[in-house]
Amino acid sequence: MDLSYYMEPAFREAIKAYEKKEVPVGAVVFDASGHVVGKGHNQVEELTDATAHAEMIALTAAMATLRSKYLDDCTLAVTLEPCPMCAGAIVSAKVGRLIFGAYDPKMGACGTVMNITASRDLNHRPEVYGGVLEHKAQSLLQEFFRGLRK
């Protein structure tokens, strides 16, 4: 299984965020057949909403598409390691598999700073694959933040 297949649509979403001057993070949910059922990109600034992360938007869209509060047969691909809020949503939605690009040394909650998705105290643990196309994801984030500092 080539995990980069799942990441490319997430990068397209991240570019949408970048073009809107949002932190360039994109997320896409695929059903068991590999069809896109939800997608999103960061819209925190646009919506003036600290919860408008790419993952939250993609998960909400997927649940609406599938008319289910659980995404156990689905794969979520996101360009940056999810934060605690998004990792909690991933567990709550019972996402079957999580694939992410860059690790987040400040807010990463899927193994870097903490590991919500692997907690034995919670009722669900998705399969997690980190570092998929990591360099590409890091490069986009670095370019964005370099531009902010200018």
Q: Enter the tokens of residue 13.
A: 């979403």
CA dist., res. 63 & res. 78, Å (int): 17
pLDDT band at 1 (very low <50, low <70, confident <90, very high): low
- Asked if 29 contacts 3 with a C-beta cutoff of 8 angstroms, the reply is no
Amino acid at 42: N
* pLDDT tens readout for residues 49-86: 999 999 999 999 999 999 999 999 999 999 999 999 99
Which residues does the annotation mark as catalytic? 55
* pLDDT tens readout for residues 125-140: 999 999 999 999 999 9
pTM exceeds 0.85, yes or no: yes
Residues in the chain: 150
pLDDT the model gives residue 122:
95
Torsion of CA 101, 120, 59, 57, to 10 degrees: -70
- Chain-centroid distance of CA 31 in Å reads 15
Which residues are 29's β-sheet partners? 38, 76
- Asked if 70 contacts 94 with a C-beta cutoff of 8 angstroms, the reply is yes
Amino acid at 50: A
**Residue closest to 85 by CA, chosen among 60, 50, 118, 112:** 50
Measured CA distances, 141 to 63, 76, 123 (Å):
28, 19, 32
CA dist., res. 37 & res. 93, Å (int): 14
